[in-house]
Copies of this chain bind each other. A is one copy, B any other.
Amino acid sequence: MFEVKSYIQQKKQVIDTSLEKILTKSQASETLVKAMSYSLMAGGKRIRPILCLAACEAVGGVSEDAVTVACALELIHTYSLIHDDLPAMDDDQLRRGKPTCHVAFDEATAILAGDALLTLAFEVLATIPVEDGDRTARRLQVIRLISRAAGYQGMIQGQMLDIASEGHKLSAGELEAMHRLKTGALIETALTCGGLLGGADERQMSMLKGYAANIGLAFQVADDILNVEGNPELMGKAVGTDLEREKSTYPSILGVQAAREYSTKLVQSALQAIETFDKHADPLRGIASYVIERRR
């Protein structure tokens, strides 16, 4: 029986340690670095980096580069949270149980800390301790994949749609299209980058993508359900906020029960997509169930 919780715990530790090293290389006394570190080390779940490492292992890889790439994904995810929380966007006060970056510091610092984390992600990706041709080419490919997923045709476009949708009633199809951009694109890239670094062939890559598309959406549906009936203390942020803002969510469109069934169905599809993988894919399988069973 695969112990997914201890797997997640162990990988989270690896990521946290690496992220801390990335930031402490600099002089940590400045306000900017403090704000970056404040949000980066605020106790995130590290889902994206863990998926990246698990995908690398699933195809039989043990690439040391995967940890670096996984950290870059978390830097990008954190920047997007800081900017999404800003007064001009979602205007959130609490994140991971702590005041959001612009509340703890100020708005200008939060904007710049986000900018800096995004830029640092690419610096990290472009820095290779020992250069060799294959590794260099792979890193460039990873930068291409991540910048596309995080950019104006991916995550940022999704955030635009999310903001534009407030107060409007979306159809289930429109909601899905929005989430596929806003969170799905970066989650898919976490898996494809992991696969790429682990040496996946085309068939494996296409299976990883199938897993990713379903798991990304399942993650979002579960998030929506937690916003309705989660425990704010466990989650470290307010619940019921989607309803207040008249956001279209899976529970608001389908009802909570049907939303829960939908998330279960998505997880089954994710598992199906990787069913021909061997036991190296057990972490991916475990994470799939964790995604909808988690309480934060």
Seen from chain A, the residues whose Cβ lies within 8 Å of a Cβ on chain B are: 26, 30-33, 36, 79, 83, 86, 88-89, 106-109, 111-112, 114-116, 118-120, 122-123, 125-128, 131, 133, 136-137, 139-141, 143-144, 147-148, 150-153, 156-157, 159-160, 163-164
- In the bound complex, what is the Cα–Cα distance between A201 and B163 (angstroms)? 50
A140 contacts which chain B residues (CB < 8 A)?
126, 128, 136, 139-140
B120 touches A122 (CB 8 A): no
B26 touches A115 (CB 8 A): no
A32 contacts which chain B residues (CB < 8 A)?
152, 156-157, 160
Identify whether the interface residues of A are mostly helix, strand, loop, or mixed. helix
A160 touches B119 (CB 8 A): no
Chain B's nearest CB lies how many Å from the CB of A264?
Answer: 33
A160 contacts which chain B residues (CB < 8 A)?
30-32, 109, 112
Across the interface, A151 reaches (CB within 8 A) one of B30, B106, B123, namely: B123
Chain B's nearest CB lies how many Å from the CB of A135?
Answer: 10
B123 touches A148 (CB 8 A): yes
Chain B's nearest CB lies how many Å from the CB of A22?
Answer: 11
Chosen A-B contacts, 7 in total, with CB atoms closer than 8 Å, are A88-B106, A116-B152, A119-B151, A120-B147, A122-B147, A126-B140, A126-B143
Chain B's nearest CB lies how many Å from the CB of A21?
Answer: 15
A111 touches B126 (CB 8 A): no
Across the interface, A150 reaches (CB within 8 A) one of B33, B109, B119, namely: B119
A152 touches B88 (CB 8 A): no
Across the interface, A111 reaches (CB within 8 A) one of B111, B147, B150, B157, namely: B111
- In the bound complex, what is the Cα–Cα distance between A30 and B151 (angstroms)? 14
A30 touches B126 (CB 8 A): no
A36 contacts which chain B residues (CB < 8 A)?
152
A159 touches B112 (CB 8 A): yes
- In the bound complex, what is the Cα–Cα distance between A143 and B136 (angstroms)? 12
Across the interface, A127 reaches (CB within 8 A) one of B26, B131, B144, B164, namely: B144
6 closest cross-chain pairs (CB), A and B: A88-B107, A123-B147, A116-B152, A126-B143, A119-B151, A126-B144
